[in-house]
Structure formats: structure tokens, C-alpha cells
Structure 1
Amino acid sequence: MTDEPRRFFAPWRVVEFEGAFRIEDAAALPLAYAYYSEDIARQATGSYMSREEARRVALNIAALPDLRAALQDNDGAGRGQAEIAALRTQLTEAEQQRDAWRAEAERLGQTAA
């Protein structure tokens, strides 16, 4: 077995067949199926979704690569903001240390004169 994870290439799309929606990747590899039935009795027993429910499920599954990319972008922005905040804190500390050194240098200069 290989250690590399499988790659399902974006964009994912939804293809409708009779009684099912197939979600496939850009290479037409089937990833999932959402089955439906127009028969009210089958829907009532809970064994099948309506066509509209199955379509919504299929579209939500197909949107997963875009959602993942958006979350990674937001996570990266959050990390960037955290890094900026940390750098600002370091800058403030460095400025305070500089001011303390200047005050000490002035005190020593006044004492020597």
C-alpha cells in the first residue's frame, strides 16, 4: 500500500441519473451517490429521499473542495494576523527597552558631567 493520500481533483460535479445523483471529481471518478425516489411510499418509509433532497445533498458534497479551500484561506489569514500581533508585541517591548536604555544613558551622562 502507498502512504500517499488519494487525490480527488476539483472541481467536483453532480451528474443526474434516473433515481440518483452521482458526485464525481474532475477526472470523472465517482465519489458518492445520492439516491432518490419519486414514489411517495418509499419516501415515507425513509428508505429514499425526494429528488430535491438528494439534489441538495449532492450539491453540498460537490462543494466540499471549495469549502476546504476557503477554510484553509481563513486559517492562513488567522495565522497571519496572529503573527502580526506577536510582532507588534515584540516591537512594543523593544521600544520600551530602547526608551529605558536612553533614559539610563541620559542619567549616566548627567552624572558624569
Structure 2
Amino acid sequence: MMDEPRRFFAPWRVVEFEGAFRIEDAAALPLAYAYYSEDIARRATGSYMSREEACRVALSIASLPDLRAALQDKDGTGELRDEIAALRAQLTAVEQQRDAWRAEAERLSQTVA
């Protein structure tokens, strides 16, 4: 039995604690942590970021739902644009066929008369 996928409700926000930024969803469920240290020796070991780097990472993670929504809107708009263009092309083809039939009907009516 598969459980339903988790939903992390937007908007996501960043909360700063001492030495870390926590990214949480709208229900305050923690999603990720970005740890930092102002101690240059600790950062030199490679396990901590500066406060500015951690803040930038946390803000980037927190903006993911907005980015995803924007991309879905853009894709949806593009699909609609393509569908409208296809329908216009079909309409043009049908109108041309109608005009050809009318011209043929006109020609036939003149030859009969």
C-alpha cells in the first residue's frame, strides 16, 4: 500500500536561528536547514557556510514553490497558444475548402444555365 505523497504547502518561509536558517512550509513543518558560522576556522573546514551564503541558499529553497508555479503557468500558456494556432490553421483550411466548393458550385451553375 502506497501512502499519498506529502504536500508541503506554500508559501515557504525562512526562519533564522542561531547558526542556522530553517526553511518551513505554511504549516511550520521544517523542510530544510542551512547552517552557517561566523567563525572563519570552522568555515575553513568546509562544513559551514558564511551567514550570507546560508541566507542565499535558504531564500533560494524557499522560493521553489513560486518558481514551480510560474513555470507551470508559463507552460500552460504556451500549450494554449499552440492549441489556438492549430485551431486557427484548421479554420483557415476549412474556409479555403468552403470557398473552393462555392467557386465550383458557381462554375457548375453557370455551365448548366
TM class by smaller structure:
over 0.9
In the alignment, residue 37 of structure 1 is paired with which amino acid? Answer: S
Match of 1:70 in 2: 70
Cα pair distance change 1:3/1:94, threshold 3 Å = farther
Question: In the TM superposition, what are the counterparts of 1:1-113 in structure 2 within 5 Å?
Answer: 1-113=1-113
C-alpha offsets along residues 56-84 of structure 1, whole Å, 9 cap, x if unaligned? 10011001111111111111110110111
Q: Percent identity among equivalent residues?
A: 86
RMSD: 1.0
Whole-Å Cα distance in 2 between the matches of residues 100 and 39 of structure 1? Answer: 81
Q: Secondary structure at the match of 2:2?
A: coil
How far, CA to CA, are the matches of 1:83 and 1:3 in structure 2?
A: 36
* Equivalent residue pairs, number: 113
Shift of 1:4: 1.8
1:7-66 deviation line (CA, Å, top 9, x unaligned): 001111101111110000011100000011111122223211100000010011001111
Unpaired runs of 5+ residues, structure 2, are none
What code does the residue aligned with 2:40 have?
I
* Separation in 2, partners of 1:52, 1:90: 55
The TM-score with structure 2 as length reference comes to 0.95
Letter in 2 for 1:34: A
AA aligned to 2:23 is: I
